[in-house]
Chains A and B, each alone.
Chain A
Amino acid sequence: MNSFSVIWNGNLWIQIATVFLILALIRHLLSAQKNPGLIFLRILGVLFLLAAALDPEIIFNHSIFVKPRIFLLVDRAHPMGGPAGKRNRLGTVKEWLSKNKAQVKGAAEVSLFALASDAKNLSSWKEIQGLKISEADFSPREALTAVLAESENSKPQRIWFFSDGNAPKEELLAAAEALKIPIDSIAVGRDIEKKGFLISGIQSPDFAFLHGKFSFGVKVETQNLKKTPCLLSLSKRESKKSPWEILSQSQLTPSSNYESFEDSFTAIAERLRSETYRFQLKAPGVFSVEREITIPVIRQKYRIMYLAGRPSYEYSFLRRFIKKDPRRELVSFVILRNPQNPVFIPDNQLSLIPFPAQNIFLRDISQFDLFILEDFSSQKFNLPPVYLESLVHYVKKGGALLVLGGPNAFSEGGYKNTPLEEVLPVALSPQIPDFVSQLFTPRPVSFKHPLTSLYSDPGISKAVWETLPPLKGFGLFSALKPDSTPVLIHPSEKMPSGNPLPIMAVNKFGRGRVMVISSNSLWRWKLENAEKSPGRNFYNRFWSRVIEYLTGTLNLSHVRFSPIPDEIPPVEPARFFFSVFDRDFSPLPEGQAGVSVEWGQPNGKTKNLNPQMLRPGYFKISLTGIPPGLNTLKAVAKRHSRLLGTDSLSFNWNPGKNYSPVRTRILKNLSFASGGKFFDLKTASAKDLLSLLPPPKRRYQIHRRMRPFASPFWLALSCLVLILEWILRRRKGLP
């Protein structure tokens, strides 16, 4: 339908003057002479003048219908890679849009957006077909803020949101509220009605301190389990053969069909090295879900008891070494005076204190990680057998024992045929005295043993051992016990069996470790090596290794992968993280170690990868081209060619599985809160969605504009006509 309109462009004062002119003309016509020719000229001149002054503009319009406007948002965050029929979720959306494109375009003005960690404005429908799954999660705040900015230019009537609802609920609702536009949610995905739950995340410490408390954070998601009690339990077991022991339980009862819970559990680390924990989620009528996690357990401080039978340089040097490391807490007693030493001096003038044998051996022994007995005679102090039995029990339960020799140790000290002999790696000699005060240079049995391989270069280790100063004095033993390992041997002395006499030997007893060093003159390795290089630091290296070995720290891994979720998003690149710790379990400073990752693929092939350091001691590895099946990652950290630690991780790569379920509830809430409507993509038709839009509006559009009297020609013509009328009037002699 066409129409036109007129607007006046002339100046206001001119328009007022024009009105007066017309009034004057009318008056004149009524009173003036009746010459029709002159009257005609006057009227013509005034009309031309009026037209030029008023400058009318004629606008020609024709009417059109305007379609309603919609924003079409497509979620492409990584959960949209999950299955939805034959395709993944994003693929299903693309298919639906492709099928309904013409209908939607015909009925509405459409702006297209792809959402993940932010919003991307798509310029054409073709771009939708080229969309790929993002690595990122869906961030409603960031993504919908960008949509909001766009809506301020041209506000849509509705928003269509194609998503599986995997987004933080509160954040999504808040962002949607800011839009103030009805949102029609179109849920995409599978098994919307299936009952189930999953442990979607576990937060655990990188390591726990022995005897210390630590916490786990657990995230659980339930689906269609409204009012069904779900039992979440934390269990622990001592070994792979031991049964699981439940530590604590928590009951979760979802109040809606789709719910997310977060809970925390506290545990106490009781075993050094590592402990395996299990989370189990159970509910009636649902398959239970289990998740195991291993926590490295380290000591915060090593508590060491050092009991010396007399003052000695060995005690003085070893004590100084132990105390130098703040991670070691030393409690020590030295027998300064023997029972046979006469007393002439009042007790208050001596710094001697009573030897608290009962406290040491019975009450406090379990608090120590390492018990050192140096040249200590049980016979001299009439130690009751129960004290030695307690020491044996301590080792059985996991304590470490180091027996250092001397004239009062071993058989001379009364340990033959006592419970203590039972735990030692050697059988004591029946000969008394069993201590030989001679110089000798002990020989390592192997340079590969962790107690002898003290330098990264085996050649240096060997050279240093071979140039060590001699020790003075060693104990005699009758045999090395089965399952014991000789570490150092006498260069010439033999046992009755003909085997070399062990100078240093180790064994395991129960859960503890025992070491015998038959001499107490190792301080010579410190002082006599003072001028030698590289042997200068040998003493410190040796004792550090001994303490690490006995307390079990030596085998602790200094590398640890962060726990992976139950469902690894099958989106490439897949990302994994691991930490590398220094010797004291602080994060490894930058550039202190070489870190590499070996990727083992299901087909048996391996690849070496370079991890990316995100911060000191924390690394990321990104994998692409992952073959389906069981993949393994092995992270290795080396310092100066010496292994610092390794950790391995296995994951099943199964694209199309292991995805979060569709969060229908979140999408329903979103639509309800915004005044929109919820749809399931499987059943939703474009017609249903389009029916919610307002009808197209009629709107007039300007077709043509005309300003016929805009030219000064009309003003000039008006003047000419009026002048002509004046001349004619004068000629005729009219007034």
Chain B
Amino acid sequence: MLLSANKSKKILPFLFLILLTLPPKAAAEDSDAFIWTQLKLGPNWDPYPDAYSSILAFVSQLTSVPVSSKRRVIALEDPKLFLSPMLILAGEESPGPLSKKEIHILSDYLRAGGLLWIENDSGVVGGSFEDWTKKISKEIFPQISLKPVEPDNILFKTFFLMKEAGGLHARNPGIETLDYDGRIAIIYDRNDLLGVWEEDALGKPLYPAIPGGSLQRELGKRLTLNIILYALTGDYKADAVHQPYLMEKMRSGIP
């Protein structure tokens, strides 16, 4: 049955809204699309179950990165771990001690080029999740520690130019990295980056970003995308060829 012109006009915005809420275009034809891979570890491993969908839509919309619409959820002993160069671990409290085998697997993964992004969504400084993160980092890399990122860190340049981190919270330092063999092996965030992506059906944020509000939320979103671009391009934006352009842009004022 054909719709009349008037009815069509009323339905089209709804159709558009439905289209926007659909997951990003599945990259079935792509060889190695980016797959959001999340580690199932501990009782609170998935505080924001829908965040990945919004993140992937954002990545797909702004960049040339092909993304997979399906999320990959794995345990540490899952062989698919080694198919996922970037691994996200979210949590609010300690997921409990890792077995020797799990530590060994995680160590092999990180040393071979894997990137572990740990999201502390508890909103508190310190706490059991942070203690666990530091303990595990030390077990894997006894000689190397997590260090707060400087404003000129590559994570603030991979796509968006930024001066500071965002998120639901504004802890300082909010984000730390552990560098191994000339690259970042572990990213640890305290500002709840995943929380900024949770929205209701109408696209309204579910959680407030305190104290910075929308700008802080936007910075959180940008940092999320930058982290993904770091996994896919490394320190590409640190190359000398980019520096004159980036310096000029930085001087012109960025949020």
Contacts and interface: CB of A to CB of B under 8 A. Distances in A.
Interface of A: 309-317, 319-320, 323-324, 330-338, 341-342, 345, 347-354, 375, 405-407, 433, 435, 437, 469, 472-473, 519-521, 523-524, 526-531, 536
Nearest to A317: B113
A311 B30 contact: no
Given A407-B30, A528-B82, 15 more contacts: A309-B64, A313-B231, A317-B85, A324-B182, A335-B64, A336-B159, A341-B63, A350-B159, A351-B249, A435-B29, A437-B28, A473-B32, A523-B85, A530-B108, A531-B105
Interface residue tally on B, bucketed by range = 35 or more
Given A337-B63, A433-B29, A527 B85 contact: yes
Interface stretch (B132-140, B205-213, B237-245): B237-245
Nearest to B250: A348
Contacts of B183: 320
Interface in B209-255: 229, 231-234, 236-237, 239, 241-242, 245-246, 249, 252-255
Contacts of B113: 317, 320, 523, 526-527, 530
B69 interface: no
B158 to A, nearest CB: 7
Interface string B172-187: 0000000000110000
Contacts of B31: 375, 405-407, 435, 437, 472-473, 519-521
B17 interface: no
A341 B64 CA distance: 7
20 contacts: A315-B233, A316-B231, A316-B232, A316-B234, A320-B183, A330-B239, A341-B63, A349-B160, A351-B158, A353-B242, A354-B245, A407-B29, A407-B30, A473-B30, A520-B31, A521-B32, A524-B83, A527-B109, A530-B82, A530-B114
A565 B200 CA distance: 87
B62 interface: yes
Most B CB within 10 A of own CB, among A311, A342, A354, A437: A311
Interface of B: 28-32, 61-66, 82-83, 85, 105, 108-109, 111-114, 157-161, 182-183, 229, 231-234, 236-237, 239, 241-242, 245-246, 249, 252-255
Contact of A332 (B66, B83, B229, B236): B236
Nearest to B30: A407
B138 to A, nearest CB: 21
Contacts of A437: 28-31
B108 A351 contact: no
A337 B62 contact: yes
B185 to A, nearest CB: 12
Most A CB within 10 A of own CB, among B65, B231, B252: B65
Contacts of A311: 63-65, 229, 232-233
B157 A528 contact: no
Contacts of B83: 524, 527-528
Contacts of B111: 530
Given A319-B234, A527-B82, A351 B64 contact: no
B108 A531 contact: yes
B32 A527 contact: no
Q: Which 8 A-B pairs have the closest CB atoms?
A: A473-B31, A530-B112, A311-B232, A310-B64, A353-B245, A338-B64, A530-B108, A528-B82
Most A CB within 10 A of own CB, among B30, B32, B114, B159: B32
Given A311-B63, A337-B64, A341-B62, A319 B160 contact: no
B216 to A, nearest CB: 15
B22 to A, nearest CB: 17
A520 B32 contact: yes
Contacts of A315: 232-234, 236
A473 B32 CA distance: 8
A460 B12 CA distance: 63
A342 B31 CA distance: 24
A431 B157 CA distance: 39
Contacts of B241: 331, 333, 353
B66 A310 contact: yes
B114 A527 contact: yes
Contacts of A353: 241-242, 245-246
Contacts of A331: 239, 241
Given A473-B32, A531-B82, A349 B229 contact: no
Given A334-B233, A524-B83, A349 B161 contact: yes
Contacts of B233: 311, 315-316, 319, 334, 336
A309 B63 CA distance: 11
Nearest to A315: B233
Nearest to A318: B234
Given A315-B232, A351-B249, A527-B109, A310 B65 contact: yes
A295 B249 CA distance: 49
A351 B242 contact: yes
A336 B59 CA distance: 10
B239 A332 contact: yes
Contact of B160 (A338, A351, A405, A435): A351
Nearest to B79: A528
Nearest to B105: A531
Nearest to A521: B32
Most B CB within 10 A of own CB, among A320, A433, A521: A320
Contacts of B234: 315-316, 319-320
A207 B229 CA distance: 42
A521 B34 CA distance: 12
A226 to B, nearest CB: 60
B33 to A, nearest CB: 9
A716 to B, nearest CB: 108
B30 A348 contact: no
A324 B182 CA distance: 8
Contact of B63 (A319, A336, A528): A336
A331 B240 CA distance: 9
B108 A334 contact: no
A312 B232 CA distance: 5
